[in-house]
Amino acid sequence: MKREARDFRETAPKPVRRISLDIKNPRLRLFLVIMALAVAAGAFFLAFRQLVSVEPGWTVLEADGAVGLNVSADFRLQIELGAGSETPLAERKRLTTVYSAAAREAYTLYTTQEYVTGVNGLWYINHHPGEEIRVDEKLYRALETSLSAGNWLYLGPAYEVWDSVWFSQEDREAAEADPRKDTELAGYLAQIAGFIRAGDIRLELRDDLNVCLVISDEYRAFGEENDITRWLDFGWQKNAFIIDDLADALTASGWTRAVLSSTDGFIRCLDERGGFTLNMYADTGTVTQIARMEYTGPASLMMLLPAPGGNRHYFYRYQDGTLRTAWISAEDALDVQPADGLAAYAEKGGCAELLCRFLDLITRSEASEADWQAAAGDECALRIVRNGTLTSLGNDRLAVTETASE
């Protein structure tokens, strides 16, 4: 698209013509001044009252941006104020401090984009292969949980390729970066997947919260040739781990009247009461609501779509409807879509554990109903949509109360 510099002379301000106003009645002028001051004082009083007065009940809590870059833009925290011994205002202030600090810490631990001074986060591990590094307990637990499920943590270099597809603005741009349309890119991803399968990269989890990223000489040489520094990355799975950290911070502060959700479908309900609802969606070319479900807390849930929402769009949809998802296989580093949408519920464990239970199936090109049932077991409720059909597996703790056909 051709762009031309705008000629600001066209909108230059015209010369100001000064006209003097002669108000001969000083009483009228004084009255007008007093009225203006009264209106201003009233507005200030109302604004101040809204600032210091907090009503009890459910509300959305925002993180304090003054803490610096943080992950709160990816999450929505709903809390019920006024149920404890503190005033709603005191509760909101305290929880804002707790939530803001946790959101900031999560950013420093999980970011792969920058080094945060004094923090041995994921960026630091990626840039110091071969070194033993002591990390925060929360990051250590996340790394351990991810590795217990498989090799997806090592897909950082593949995610860099797919980022160019997911964040494309038009089909031409996406097609140029699409490994399914470019054999050279597909070959590059095949090499990365080959190194992962061969064990040329591994993260050793050692005692006392120490980790060490071990990369073979051959893979490191490949990385230098291709400017790889993002060896490890949670990718689209990251918010499942972060939401558990945020939930733990809230419960550690003594708070349970809360529902925390991520923009891409992970949910932690800390409240032990019932009557909570979850809307389930599916993507069959367009995203539509399939069902409404009801559950009781406390619980961990996820409502996953191949084309999720959120501030980071981990997908790209071509004009002809072809979808490129973020569900990347650790076997060949290519995207898959085994389901149109799925919802899962578990009373025990966090969202990371729940995701890892199904991660192998989510990143397979095909999985049978028996495979999904085996993964759900009796501990989880799983509702899955394939080819437009909703199937209920696992236990009945995620009750379908309404379907789109009703």
Q: What per-residue confidence (pLDDT) applies to 311?
A: 60
Predicted local distance difference test score (pLDDT) of residue 403: 85
Write down the pLDDT at residue 3.
34
Q: What is the pLDDT of residue 85?
A: 81
Among 366, 388, 364, 162, smallest CA distance to 283 is for 388
Largest CA distance in the chain: 93
DSSP-H helix ranges across 295-368:
351-362
Average pLDDT for the chain: 90
User: What's the pLDDT at 18?
Assistant: 57
Tokens, residue 314:
């981990």
Give pLDDT tens digits for 81-115.
998 788 999 999 999 999 999 999 999 999 999 99
Q: What is the pLDDT of residue 84?
A: 77
Q: Which of 27, 77, 86 lies closest to 54, judged by CA?
A: 86
Which of residues 8 and 179 earns the better pLDDT score? 179
CA distance linking residue 45 with residue 322, whole number of Å: 55
Distance CA 223, CA 127 (A): 12
pLDDT value for 6 = 39
- What pLDDT, on the 0 to 100 scale, is given for residue 366? 87
List, for residues 302-347, the tens digit of each pLDDT value: 999 999 876 667 899 999 999 999 999 999 999 999 999 999 999 9
Of 96, 110, 40, 29, the closest CA to residue 65 belongs to 96
pLDDT surpasses 50 at 11:
no
Residue 269 predicted with pLDDT over 60? yes
Q: 315, 361 in Cβ contact below 8 A?
A: no
Does position 8 have pLDDT exceeding 50, yes or no?
no
Instruction: Say yes or no to pLDDT of 171 above 50.
Output: yes
| Contacts by residues 323-329 (CB-CB < 8 Å, ≥ 24 positions apart) | 323/283, 324/162, 324/165, 324/166, 324/174, 324/178, 324/180, 326/162, 326/166, 326/235, 326/236, 327/236, 327/362, 327/363, 328/152, 328/155, 328/158, 328/159, 328/162, 328/235, 328/363, 329/363, 329/364, 329/365
Confirm whether pTM is higher than 0.85. yes
- pLDDT tens-digit readout, 123-160: 999 999 999 999 999 999 999 999 999 999 999 999 99
pLDDT of 277 > 50? The answer is yes
Residue 54 pLDDT: 85
Three-state DSSP state, 266? strand
CA-to-CA separations, 66 to 115, 248, 372, in angstroms, rounded: 19, 22, 44
